[in-house]
């Protein structure tokens, strides 16, 4: 097997997606290793878990930096000193400058809890409920300077149920996030998800052809 890709996970909060990536990466043969966890919030629950697990973990508190560029310089220097090759954003709540995003072009991925390009930004699940969509889901994509945009690597879809609220929908989407994010990182780290222009070409076999009907037919 070729060398595992040294991957950093950037978080701001509870870190459930980080956990799913860490757990996937522990399985022998997974093509990425989690070489660093970074939180921009000192009290993020996720960073405490990462420390407990003995993972290399650092807090880079954005409030301690005068500008976004200064914060990103500190972040870049942590990534450099851990020889990071891939970055996975997992509930990381800071917008990044085009310069930083450019440094990580096609090497930084994010998960967003909607079927992009629908419902970008905050209050995603509220937006989906308000729009009355019958199918919702999540998207893993390469990061570009525009928020919640960039070539799509993988998506997972679930039905929206009668009586769903933003909270119940979020909980069911989170379950599929935890499966699709490790699968997407696997594709990227193995070189099986490549950007061609602004689209991702997947070179592993895709077997799933079942449609999802909502409501069921
Ligand atoms: C997830 O819903 C993710 O899609 C979004 O932020 C949330 C983070 O949750 N970007 P967690 O910190 O991974 O539990």
Closest CA to 172 of 133, 135, 117, 216: 135
Residues of the chain with pLDDT under 70: 1
Local structure of 125: helix, strand or coil: helix
User: For 175, phi and psi rounded to 5 degrees?
Assistant: -60, -40
Cα-based distances in Å from 91 to 19, 86, 187, 201? 12, 16, 20, 25
CATH topology of domain 5-202: Rossmann fold (3.40.50)
Cα(73) to ligand 1 centroid in Å equals 24
Cα(217) to ligand 1 centroid in Å equals 31
Q: Is the bond into 215 cis (omega within 30 degrees of 0)?
A: yes
Runs of H (alpha helix) within the chain = 16-25, 45-52, 68-81, 98-103, 124-131, 166-189
For 138-162, b/e burial (b = at least 16 CB within 10 A) is bbbbbbbeeebbbbbbbbbbbbbee
Q: Where does ligand 1 bind, in terms of residues with CB under 6 Å?
A: 11, 13-17, 46, 90-91, 111-113, 138, 174, 177
Q: What is the pLDDT of residues 27-69, one digit of tens each?
A: 999 999 999 999 999 999 999 999 999 999 999 999 999 999 9
pLDDT of residue 29: 97
Distance CA(112)–CA(97), nearest Å, equals: 19
To the query of whether residue 112 is one of the catalytic residues in this protein, the response is yes
pLDDT of residue 1: 60
Classify residue 54 by burial, with Cβ atoms within 10 Å: 0-12, 13-18, 19+: exposed
Q: List Cβ neighbours of 54 (8 Å cut-off, separation of 6 or more).
A: none
């Amino acid at each position: 097997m070729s060398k595992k890709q040294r991957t950093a996970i950037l978080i701001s909060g509870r870190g459930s997606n980080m956990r799913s990536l860490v757990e996937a990466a522990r399985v022998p043969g997974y093509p990425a290793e989690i070489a660093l966890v970074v939180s921009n919030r000192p009290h993020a629950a996720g960073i405490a878990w990462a420390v407990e697990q003995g993972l290399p973990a650092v807090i880079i508190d954005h409030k301690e930096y005068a500008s976004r560029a200064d914060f990103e310089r500190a972040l870049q220097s942590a990534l450099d000193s851990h020889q990071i090759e891939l970055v996975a954003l997992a509930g990381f709540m800071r917008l990044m400058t085009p310069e930083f995003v450019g440094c990580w072009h096609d090497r930084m991925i994010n998960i967003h809890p909607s079927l992009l390009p629908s419902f970008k930004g905050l209050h995603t699940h509220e937006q989906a409920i308000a729009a009355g969509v019958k199918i919702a889901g999540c998207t893993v994509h390469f990061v570009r300077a525009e928020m919640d945009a960039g070539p799509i690597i993988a998506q997972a879809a679930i039905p929206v149920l009668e009586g769903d609220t933003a909270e119940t929908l979020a909980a069911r989407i989170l379950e599929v996030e935890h499966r699709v994010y490790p699968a997407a990182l696997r594709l990227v780290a193995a070189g099986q998800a490549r950007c061609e222009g602004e689209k991702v070409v997947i070179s592993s076999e895709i077997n799933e052809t079942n449609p999802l009907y909502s409501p069921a037919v």
